[in-house]
Structure 1
Amino acid sequence: MFKRLAIAVTLLGLIVGGIVWFKSFRDGMIAQYLSGMVPPPVPVTSEKVETVTWEPGIEAVGTAIAASGVDLATQSGGLVREIQFTANDRVTKGQLLVQIDDASEQASLAAAKAALGVAQTEATRAQTLSERGVSAATTVESAEAQTEAARAQVAQVQTALDDKRLTAPFDGVIGIPQIEVGQYVGVGTTYATLQDLSRMRVDFAVPEQQMGLLSLDRPVTIKTEVGDFSADGHIIAIEPRVDPNSRMVSVRAEVENASGKLSPGQFLRVRVSLPSEPNVIAVPQTAISSSLYGDSIYVIRQGETAEEQKVEQVFVTLGRRSGARIEVIKGLTAGEEIVTSGQNRLTNGGKVKVDNSVVLTAPAGE
């Protein structure tokens, strides 16, 4: 019995030993195979670092407002007799827009003019009698005073009559009529809007830290979110007070709108142009790799052979942004070659193959 048990234990030991030996042999062979594998170079695109003339600017969002824009309101109450415009008409200064019923004022004006005529006749008669010596000087003065009072009455009624005629205060485009013929309107009733679209103003705000960079007449460029409209202008006003809640400074610019494509209230992208700066290093934003340790750029270095190229991860200090490029304050020098795309598979010291015939797109999340 003991002999059989010894044989069984021996066989079990041989089996276990064989399994352990096979596993060790397999792992060793796999490790030997992998150690002999050389990963192929990673294809990347590159760019030579050069100094450029930097065109700095202040980016902001703004709102378009008409240089001249008002809500037109009635100056006198009454029934609307005529509406002399339709929506989006171009009107000129002084053009009649709305006529309020003025029959009562017309009658009052006729009566006032008649009274003025009587007063002038009486004043002439009194002057003639005074010259003949048959009338006192006080009679002439009284007649002249009556004439002036009658003339003032005519002017007063004429003013009331003019208030019934609503005219355009300036050239512009008029909006949708807010009243109808036959409607009774009170004083101050808005009947339309009038906008001068030939010139537009743009209101925007910048952080208080950039307030010192602003000045009157500094050029600005505006662009719309919808369409491809853009226009140039200049700053015409800077609010001298910083908003204590937002810590922003309000700025107003003026731009030409000869085409009429810009409308009041429209959302705009604003760029304030600042003086250009020479000898600035700027790289594509796609070349920047950001992590918890900071921002870095992969610089291409020469490998052990003439054909071999490797990359070195260099940490940099970044500055301002302008379009698709970003300023590098520290970490790069002109003449170095950097990786601009394809760095998602790179590690420090890894081999690369530069191929600038195509532009590699970074995957989402890179």
Structure 2
Amino acid sequence: MTANIRCQLLFSAFFLAVTGCSDPPPSNTTEAVGKVPVTVAEISEWKYPLTRQLPGVVRPGKRAILSTRIAGTLTSVTREPGDEVTTGELLATIDARDIEAAIAAAEEKIIAAEAAVRQARLDSDRLERLYQEDLIARVRTERARVRLEELEAQRQAAKSELEAQQTNLSYTRLTSPFDGVVAETLVDSGSFVGPGQPLIVLEDRQQLRIDVPVSSNQADSLVQGQTLSVVAGPGNGTYEARLVSIIPALDDKGTGQRLRLAIDTETAALAPGQVVSVVVPVADAKRRNRDTTWVALPQDALIRRGQLTGVLVVRSPGEQVSAEPAVVNLRWIKTATMPAIASDLIPVTQGLEVGDRVVLDPSADLQDGQPVIIENAGTVDGKK
């Protein structure tokens, strides 16, 4: 082996030794994650009354579907939908020429009947005097009296016919039965209409009513005259309504009932046909409160993953002091329906206890078991 080859082998061995010594050490996967500052709140017992929101339909305080009892051509409709009307105001008319002719004929019959009655009474009185003078037989006076009674009955029948035709004439004029608003005109002028056919829908919106379907158990927990809250409108405005009555099921097999609520104040946020939410107390709230203690949780502490709901609970080995490190643990919970009176809090039925501390506005970087630093702590107010 020459001296040149020997030098190259020595250089290669030295280079490999240097390269092996310069390799970086393997990373430590068990290095602790940095502590994240968080804001926590200590939850307390739920003191709000338990409620639920049920859908209801707004209806006018009064609603009348006007029709006629006669057949004829609708000659005019004097009001349009949206027009305000007063009691007795004319809304539509129906062709009344046949009825007017019948009235005229009935009046002529009355005139003829009255003339015949006057003549029959004169004949009866004359025959009665002749009978008193023993000039005629008794049977002739009796016949005259019977004839008078027949003519009087015919006169009365003619008067009754006149009254009937005058009543029919009133059916050709549709008038408003109360102060209200024309909600809809169902038939245009020129159409032929028949008895009982709906023509005009009239509503009184000075007072509104709300019908709410409920279960029998829920209805039994309410009292007539009780005040309930109604949530409606684009801004979720709240209005007070009075429970007027509880309407039972229409048949024996029905299990549901209906609440009838009344709102005395007219408001632009409510209109007939509108669907609103009615806040009612939970029927079995007392039983639930005896069985378990519910807690109040801020909405901004919730973590939702699919169908699961959870929170990050702060745990520390000992008594927590501000700025001391702590660890967060993910805990799955069960919540109840949020009542309208506490929009920033929701009731928790399972998974949390009074005194637990939860992280508010948890970031996506927080993981289960991660150390944190508490920067700000408070208490959830679970009292009404």
Find the counterpart in structure 1 of residue 106 from structure 2.
Answer: 112
Find the counterpart in structure 2 of residue 253 from structure 1.
Answer: 260
Find the counterpart in structure 1 of residue 25 from structure 2.
Answer: 27
In structure 1, give the amino acid aligned to 2:38: P
Moved more, 61-70 or 298-307: 298-307
In structure 1, give the amino acid aligned to 2:346: I
Could you tell me the percent identity over the aligned residues?
20
Q: Secondary structure at the match of 1:51?
A: coil
Asked whether the equivalents of residues 241 and 249 of structure 1 are also in contact (C-alpha less than 8 Å), the reply is no
Asked whether the equivalents of residues 298 and 312 of structure 1 are also in contact (C-alpha less than 8 Å), the reply is yes
CA shift, 1:79, in A, is 4.1
Q: Deviations over 1:138-177 (max 9, x none)?
A: 2233123212321221122112211211112333201354
Change (3 A) 1:268 1:141: same
In structure 2, give the amino acid aligned to 1:148: Q
Gap regions ≥5 residues in structure 1: 358-366
- Of 342, 350, 360, which residue of structure 1 is paired with 2:362? 342
TM-score (norm 1): 0.75
Q: For 1:32-43, list aligned pairs within 5 A.
A: 35=31, 39-43=34-38
Change (3 A) 1:61 1:320: closer
Query: C-alpha separation between the residues in 2 aligned to 1:260 and 1:115?
Result: 57
Asked whether the equivalents of residues 50 and 282 of structure 1 are also in contact (C-alpha less than 8 Å), the reply is yes
Asked whether the equivalents of residues 298 and 343 of structure 1 are also in contact (C-alpha less than 8 Å), the reply is no
Change (3 A) 1:14 1:172: farther
Query: C-alpha separation between the residues in 2 aligned to 1:82 and 1:57?
Result: 52
Query: C-alpha separation between the residues in 1 aligned to 2:67 and 2:19?
Result: 100
Q: Secondary structure at the match of 1:321?
A: coil
- Of 258, 266, 279, which residue of structure 1 is paired with 2:274? 266
Asked whether the equivalents of residues 73 and 95 of structure 2 are also in contact (C-alpha less than 8 Å), the reply is yes
Find the counterpart in structure 1 of residue 326 from structure 2.
Answer: 310
Q: Secondary structure at the match of 1:54?
A: coil
Find the counterpart in structure 2 of residue 47 from structure 1.
Answer: 41
CA shift, 1:57, in A, is 1.8
Count of residue pairs the alignment pairs up: 348
Gap regions ≥5 residues in structure 2: 129-140, 379-384
Query: C-alpha separation between the residues in 2 aligned to 1:284 and 1:354?
Result: 18
Q: For 1:168-247, list aligned pairs within 5 A.
A: 168-175=176-183, 177=185, 183-187=190-194, 190-206=198-214, 213=221, 217-227=225-235, 229-233=237-241, 234=243, 236-240=245-249
CA shift, 1:108, in A, is 1.9
Q: Deviations over 1:51-100 (max 9, x none)?
A: 34322222122322223324433443434444433442222333221122
Find the counterpart in structure 1 of residue 78 from structure 2.
Answer: 84
Find the counterpart in structure 1 of residue 135 from structure 2.
Answer: none
CA shift, 1:256, in A, is 1.5
Moved more, 313-322 or 47-56: 313-322
CA shift, 1:320, in A, is 4.1
Asked whether the equivalents of residues 38 and 359 of structure 2 are also in contact (C-alpha less than 8 Å), the reply is no
Q: Secondary structure at the match of 2:153?
A: helix
Query: C-alpha separation between the residues in 1 aligned to 2:223 and 2:12?
Result: 93
Moved more, 230-239 or 139-148: 230-239
In structure 2, give the amino acid aligned to 1:355: N
TM-score (norm 2): 0.72
Change (3 A) 1:117 1:321: same
Query: C-alpha separation between the residues in 1 aligned to 2:312 and 2:234?
Result: 38
Query: C-alpha separation between the residues in 2 aligned to 1:154 and 1:210?
Result: 57
Change (3 A) 1:341 1:158: same
CA shift, 1:282, in A, is 1.4
Find the counterpart in structure 1 of residue 132 from structure 2.
Answer: none
Query: C-alpha separation between the residues in 1 aligned to 2:50 and 2:348?
Result: 14
Query: C-alpha separation between the residues in 1 aligned to 2:267 and 2:227?
Result: 21
Find the counterpart in structure 2 of residue 351 from structure 1.
Answer: 372
Change (3 A) 1:254 1:104: same
- Of 306, 329, 333, which residue of structure 1 is paired with 2:349? 329
Query: C-alpha separation between the residues in 1 aligned to 2:84 and 2:307?
Result: 61
CA shift, 1:22, in A, is 2.6
